[in-house]
Amino acid sequence: MPAKKGTKFNEYTFETKVKAIRLHIEEGWTYRRLMEKFGIADRHRLKEWMRKYKELGEFGLMDQRGRRKKYIDQDRYVQKPKRENDMLKSVWKSGYRR
């Protein structure tokens, strides 16, 4: 169900996220137990934190709102023009002419 206008969302600190992830991974706590301990309303939130932690480590748990993507993932930002150039070269070598 989508959020209603004026709904106040819960915000969790970086430390809370790290602690919850650590308890789940190292001590084997269930999502239900973590939800009760930290007052988290839904299991999906914890699953998102786990996904981000697995992809980016603790950096993935930081609040990224307001940051430009090119500063977050500098390597991907640099690689994009290189991939475009490689694609254009392959098209040119294949004999595509207008």
pLDDT the model gives residue 28: 92
As a whole number of angstroms, the distance between CA 51 and CA 29 comes to 16
Hunting for tokens 């980016």 — which residue is that?
56
Per-residue tens of pLDDT for the chain, all 98 residues: 677 888 887 888 889 999 999 999 999 999 999 999 999 988 999 999 999 888 888 888 887 776 655 555 666 666 677 777 877 777 777 776 55
**Helix then strand then coil, % of the chain, to nearest 5:** 65, 0, 35
The CA-atom distances, in angstroms, between 80 and each of 3, 66, 70, 75, 87 are: 35, 22, 11, 9, 11
